[in-house]
């Protein structure tokens, strides 16, 4: 007995055939489904092209142009400390006093020796003159004359030696007053009243000069060559800008005062120093510094907003709007940051439209885009409709 299909099953079979036909039409030659994602809505900005000053950035430390260890030049007990720890001092400021009684006594003895030597010299001089007259009258022998002249010369030498001992005793007495050798900021007192110190030991304190002050850093070979070329071109020292770790940008100007005479072949760097005025004592030795070394005359450069730059392991890239509004990936070589934009050394061309907002909506190169133009320096500018909706009603 043969079953006859019911009239209600015929429309179902027809619908199934239509669905299968649609699926087969959507299949490619390889049997895979061809699927087109809708265009990604993104904000794009044209690459900025303008002249920018070239520079390189390094890390450094502030160092004093002068730093002195204050040591005793004579021995004795410390009698007084005359400064507050960490105070600013001028050259010649009294810092320590060493007990000077021994040195005053030595000076008195040296002066007495000088007086005796001076008296003997005068006596010897008179005797030499007397015998000289007698010898001229044939009343004294030549031997006696020579003896008196030798005694006069010996007495003169004794006076000079005694005078030298007086000067040495005066110096020793002066050295009991330990003074600041330079103008700057003194550290703390390493010894206190009553301590016994010797000649040259120990370190009593240190003094560092603070105005001006240097920033020491190490520049790479490329910056070294650029600095030499710039100096040869205009004959002036390159400009240096410095910023502290807590400051934005590089607000402090300095001058390059030292570049070493050779590069370190192990690191490919050269030692350098820049000098800054420091009247307000804002900078202290040892502070971290960010150093920007200007590298010649301004040159034409391309710039993009850092928001557009993506990272793929060790490579930096952006997406640009290519032919047919398709996403194209461009790998970049980046330079320094200028006024909130990043210099692009290679990878982009003038006129390129770079995706600055909505990069995460691009899943692969070649994806269709729906671009909206915005300024490069203001990538988050809303579309006109959104801006109009956010504006308060007039008179509201």
Assign 206 to helix, strand or coil: strand
CATH code of the domain containing 127:
1.10.287
Q: Are both 244 and 289 inside the same structural domain? A: yes
Rounded mean pLDDT of the chain? 85
Query: Which residue, 271, 297, 323, sits at the end of a domain?
Result: 297
CATH code for position 329: 2.40.420.20
4 within some domain? no
Whether residue 272 is found in the same domain as residue 352: no
- Residues ≥6 apart with Cβ < 8 Å to 304: 45, 47, 48, 318, 341, 342, 344, 348, 354, 356, 376
Of the candidates 9, 223, 186, the one whose C-alpha atom is nearest the C-alpha of residue 91 is 186
Cα distance between residue 173 and residue 165, in whole Å: 12
8 is a domain residue: no
Q: Which of 233, 265, 297 is the last residue before a domain boundary?
A: 297
Q: Please report, in angstroms and rounded to a whole number, the separation of the first and last CA atoms in the chain.
A: 84
213 lies in the same domain as 289: yes
Both 293 and 306 in one domain: the answer is: no
Asked if residue 82 is part of any domain, the answer here is: no
Supply the pLDDT for residue 52.
83
User: What is the pLDDT, as a whole number, of residue 235?
Assistant: 62
Joined together, the tokens standing for residue 131 give 């015998």
Whether 118 maps to a domain, the answer reads: yes
pLDDT single digits (tens) 59-73: 999 999 999 999 999
- 372 with 316, same domain: the answer is yes
Query: Residues 271-296, buried b or exposed e (16+ Cβ, 10 A)?
Result: ebbbbbebeeeebebeeebbbbbbbb
Q: What is the pLDDT of residue 6?
A: 45
| Angle between helical axes of 101-136 and 142-175 (0-180°, round to 10) | 160
Token representation of residue 45:
């900005």
48 within some domain: yes
61-74: b (≥16 Cβ within 10 Å) or e: ebbbbeebebebeb
Domain span at residue 325? 40-52+300-381
Residue 224: predicted pLDDT? 79
Spatial contact of 20 and 347, defined as CB atoms under 8 Å apart: no
> Same domain, yes or no, for 291 and 310?
no
289 & 306 share domain: no
- Give a yes or no: residue 194 inside a domain: no
Residues 233 and 217 placed together within one structural domain of the fold: yes
For the chain, the domain total comes to 3
The alpha carbon of 310 is separated from its chain's Cα centroid by a whole number of angstroms, namely: 30
User: Which parts of the chain have pLDDT scores under 50?
Assistant: 1-12, 14-31, 394-396
On whether both 263 and 239 belong to a single domain, the answer is yes
Q: What is the pLDDT of residue 20?
A: 44
Question: What's 270's domain CATH number?
Answer: 2.40.30.170
Q: Specify the pTM.
A: 0.63
Q: Do the domain assignments include residue 74? A: no
Same domain, 321 and 271: no
Dist. CA 334–CA 161, nearest whole Å: 75
Same structural domain for residues 241 and 281?
yes
- Residue 386: the pLDDT is 55
Asked whether residue 34 is domain-assigned, the answer is no
Alpha carbon 278 to chain centroid distance?
14
Cα distances (angstroms) measured from residue 33 to each of 40, 59, 122: 21, 56, 127
The confidence score (pLDDT) of residue 21 equals: 47
347 and 330 within one domain: yes
Question: Among 132, 154, 175, where does a domain finish?
Answer: 175
């Amino acid at each position: 007995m043969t079953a006859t299909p019911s009239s209600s099953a015929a429309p179902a079979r027809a619908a199934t055939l239509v669905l299968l036909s649609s699926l087969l039409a959507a299949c490619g030659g390889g049997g895979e489904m061809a699927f087109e994602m809708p265009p990604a809505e993104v904000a794009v900005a044209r690459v900025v092209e303008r002249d920018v000053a070239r520079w390189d950035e390094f890390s450094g430390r502030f160092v004093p142009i002068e730093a002195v260890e204050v040591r005793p030049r004579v021995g004795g007990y410390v009698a007084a400390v005359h400064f507050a720890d960490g105070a600013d001092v001028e050259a010649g400021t009294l810092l320590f006093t060493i007990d000077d009684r021994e040195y005053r006594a030595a000076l008195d003895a040296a002066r007495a020796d000088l007086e005796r030597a001076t008296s003997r010299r005068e006596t010897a001089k008179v005797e030499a003159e007397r015998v000289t007259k007698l010898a001229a009258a044939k009343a004294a022998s030549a031997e006696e004359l020579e003896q008196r002249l030798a005694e006069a010369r010996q007495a003169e030498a004794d006076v000079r030696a005694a005078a030298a001992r007086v000067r040495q005793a005066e110096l020793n007495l002066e050295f009991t007053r330990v003074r600041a050798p330079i103008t700057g900021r003194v550290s703390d007192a390493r010894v206190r009243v009553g301590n016994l110190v010797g000649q040259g030991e120990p370190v009593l304190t240190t003094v560092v000069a603070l105005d001006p002050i240097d920033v020491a850093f190490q520049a790479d070979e490329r910056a070294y060559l650029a600095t030499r070329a710039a100096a040869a071109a205009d004959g002036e020292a390159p400009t240096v800008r410095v910023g502290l770790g807590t400051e934005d940008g590089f607000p402090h100007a300095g001058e390059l005062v030292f570049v070493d005479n050779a590069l370190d072949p192990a690191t490919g760097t050269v030692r350098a120093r820049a000098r800054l005025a420091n009247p307000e004592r804002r900078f202290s030795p040892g502070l971290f510094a960010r150093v920007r070394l200007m590298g010649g005359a301004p040159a034409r450069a391309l710039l993009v907003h850092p928001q557009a730059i993506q990272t793929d392991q060790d490579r930096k890239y952006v997406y640009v709007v290519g032919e047919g509004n398709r996403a194209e990936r461009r790998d970049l070589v980046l330079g320094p940051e200028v006024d909130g934009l990043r210099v692009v050394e290679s990878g982009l061309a003038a006129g390129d439209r770079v995706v600055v907002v909505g990069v995460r909506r691009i899943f692969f190169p070649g994806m269709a885009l729906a671009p909206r133009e915005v300024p490069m320096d203001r990538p988050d500018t809303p579309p006109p409709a959104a801006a109009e909706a956010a504006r308060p009603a007039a008179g509201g």
